[in-house]
């Protein structure tokens, strides 16, 4: 072979294979990076795509400059609200202090969405911790997951929740579907991994496959390239096409903040409460057979909380308050303990906005509540929890 063929050339026949090989090498090499080096918040860093737990077990995330999902989704870097997040998971892969899973002092288990998981706050500010602090009880955080009866039974045994007096707190987010009617424990991917491997399963086999699965799903090179491209989409070099996904507006206090566009549509959408009530009635009855009491927490979106405080009034028909009122009335008629957080959070939002400087109970650049919003919700939940367990 002539050495001239191996010399650098500007011809496409040489450049294209070299560039493809360099891209492939960079993509493979960067996948070995820890996920927290690639992500901008804990949800991407500790979520696991192949395991039976929602987060990586026995992990700790400590980043000083985390910002919100709306700022990223809508490419609004000027509204980023940087804050520190310290997020610790226990041996079961949930957001709790490590000793809680084996301490045997748990009297309630919290299920729900990323709101309950405390995805944008530190360990000491999470909903489970603040509910426990307000109510004088240990609350185990099993979010984000649904309270399937089999899961509740298994977790109650693992964390030592006392038999016959346990409380199951289920945070039902405004747009979330109710838990399915099924008595079986959902089949997680890691469990399927063990079933498929059979006799070939070893102590670290599924862990290794999970690690590989996570790296196959997340391409660091793709993430970095997307971030560079987003920098160019600043309405000067390129139009910011991502801006359509969020609503950028002001409150009456003058504070500028972001909302998810879909939340406004949900706020105005008429919904029936019948299917939700049917499923929750089934769940309450099944948990009662396990001698556990259900408390449902109706949790509104950020837009529903702040709709009355917008500088430009929302003139559409507000359906969420009616929907929550129908759910609350239906559950009380069926003997299910319930607390509606819409008015407590709206009151907390009004009080915060009235303070000097105009405070917030949700992150300005994120869909989730901050520590102040969690505190307001926790007080209402703790009050309802005391009433739910009182004979």
Residue 103: per-residue pLDDT: 74
Q: How far apart are CA 56 and CA 51, in angstroms?
A: 8
Kindly state the tokens that stand for 262: 């879909």
* Stronger pLDDT, 384 or 34, i.e. the higher one: 384
Which tens digits make up the pLDDT trace of 126-157?
A: 999 999 999 988 999 999 989 999 889 989 98
Which DSSP string corresponds to 264-300?
HHHHH----SHHHHHHHHHHHHHHHHTTEEEEEEEE-
| Half-sphere exposure (Cβ direction) of 118: Cα atoms closer than 13 Å | 31
Residue 75: per-residue pLDDT: 92
Strands 256-260 and 138-141, sheet pairing: unpaired
Q: What is the mean pLDDT of residues 317-327?
A: 96
pLDDT band at 295 (very low <50, low <70, confident <90, very high): very high
Residue 312: per-residue pLDDT: 93
For tokens 């984000």, the residue is 144
pLDDT band at 97 (very low <50, low <70, confident <90, very high): very high
* Stronger pLDDT, 272 or 220, i.e. the higher one: 272
Residue 57: per-residue pLDDT: 86
Kindly state the tokens that stand for 106: 């748990």
Three-class SS state of 141: strand
CA-based torsion, 249, 255, 260, 262: positive or negative:
negative
pLDDT band at 189 (very low <50, low <70, confident <90, very high): very low
Question: In the chain, what are the helix, strand and coil shares in percent, each to the nearest 5?
Answer: 50, 15, 35
* pLDDT at 320 exceeding the cut of 50: yes
Strands 166-173 and 246-250, sheet pairing: unpaired
Which tens digits make up the pLDDT trace of 332-380?
A: 999 999 999 999 999 999 999 998 778 999 999 999 999 999 999 999 9
Kindly state the tokens that stand for 191: 């469990």
Residue 6: per-residue pLDDT: 53
Q: How far apart are CA 170 and CA 33, in angstroms?
A: 36
Q: How far apart are CA 261 and CA 252, in angstroms?
A: 19
Least confident of 152-166, 212-226, 263-277: 212-226
H-run or E-run covering 352: helix 342-354
* Stronger pLDDT, 314 or 14, i.e. the higher one: 314
Least confident of 201-210, 231-240, 273-282, 375-384: 201-210
Least confident of 61-65, 300-304, 308-312: 61-65
Instruction: Specify which of 39-43, 108-112, 180-184, 204-208 reaches the highest per-range mean pLDDT.
Output: 108-112
Give residue limits of the domains in the chain.
35-389
Least confident of 37-46, 95-104, 220-229: 220-229
- Distance between the two ends of the chain, CA-based, in angstroms? 89
Least confident of 171-175, 192-196, 213-217, 335-339: 192-196
Which tens digits make up the pLDDT trace of 2-22?
A: 555 556 666 676 677 777 787
Q: 31 φ, ψ to 5°?
A: -65, -15
Q: How far apart are CA 31 and CA 215, in angstroms?
A: 6
Residues 168 and 109 sit within 8 Å (Cβ to Cβ):
yes
Where does 35-389 sit in CATH, by number? 3.40.50.1110
Which tens digits make up the pLDDT trace of 229-269?
A: 677 777 778 888 888 999 999 999 999 999 999 999 999 99
* pLDDT at 177 exceeding the cut of 50: yes
Q: What is the mean pLDDT of residues 57-78?
A: 92
Residue 228: per-residue pLDDT: 75
Which tens digits make up the pLDDT trace of 32-66?
A: 767 666 677 888 788 775 556 788 888 899 999 99
Residue 46: per-residue pLDDT: 82
Q: How far apart are CA 149 and CA 145, in angstroms?
A: 12
The percentage of residues in the chain with a pLDDT greater than 70, rounded to a whole number, is: 80
Residues 105 and 136 sit within 8 Å (Cβ to Cβ):
no
Residue 227: per-residue pLDDT: 72
């Amino acid at each position: 072979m002539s050495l001239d063929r191996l010399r650098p050339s500007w011809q496409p026949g040489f450049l294209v294979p070299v560039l493809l090989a360099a891209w492939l090498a960079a993509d493979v090499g960067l996948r070995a990076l820890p996920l927290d080096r690639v992500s901008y918040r804990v949800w991407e860093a500790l979520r696991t795509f192949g395991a039976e737990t929602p987060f990586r077990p026995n992990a700790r995330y400590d980043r000083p400059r985390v910002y919100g999902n709306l700022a990223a989704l809508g490419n609004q870097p000027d509204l980023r609200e940087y804050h520190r997040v310290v997020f610790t998971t226990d041996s079961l892969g949930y957001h709790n202090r490590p000793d809680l899973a084996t301490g045997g002092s748990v009297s309630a288990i919290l299920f729900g969405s990323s709101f309950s998981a405390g995805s944008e706050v530190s360990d000491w500010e999470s909903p489970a911790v603040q509910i426990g602090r307000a109510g004088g009880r240990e609350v185990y955080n099993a979010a984000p997951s649904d309270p399937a009866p089999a899961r509740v039974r298994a977790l109650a045994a693992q964390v030592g929740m006392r038999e016959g007096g346990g409380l199951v707190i289920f945070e039902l987010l405004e747009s979330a579907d109710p838990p399915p009617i099924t008595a079986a424990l959902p089949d997680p991917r890691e469990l399927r991994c063990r079933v498929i491997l059979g006799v070939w399963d070893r102590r670290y086999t599924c862990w290794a496959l999970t690690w590989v699965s996570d790296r196959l799903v997340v391409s660091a090179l793709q993430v970095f390239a997307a971030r560079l491209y987003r920098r160019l989409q600043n309405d000067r070099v390129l139009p910011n096409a991502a801006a359509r996904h969020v609503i950028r507006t002001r409150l009456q206090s003058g504070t500028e903040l972001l909302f998810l566009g879909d939340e406004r549509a949900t706020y105005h959408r008429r919904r029936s409460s019948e299917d939700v009530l049917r499923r929750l009635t089934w769940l309450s009855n099944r948990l009662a057979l396990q001698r556990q009491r259900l408390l449902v927490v109706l949790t509104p979106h950020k837009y529903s909380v702040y709709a009355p405080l917008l500088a430009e009034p929302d003139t559409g028909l507000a359906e969420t308050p009616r929907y929550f009122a129908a759910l609350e009335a239906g559950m009380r008629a069926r003997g299910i303990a319930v607390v509606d957080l819409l008015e407590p959070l709206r009151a907390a939002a009004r009080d915060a906005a009235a303070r000097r400087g105009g405070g917030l109970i949700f992150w300005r650049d994120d869909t989730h509540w901050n520590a102040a919003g969690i505190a307001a919700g926790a007080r209402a939940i703790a009050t309802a929890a005391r009433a739910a367990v009182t004979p």
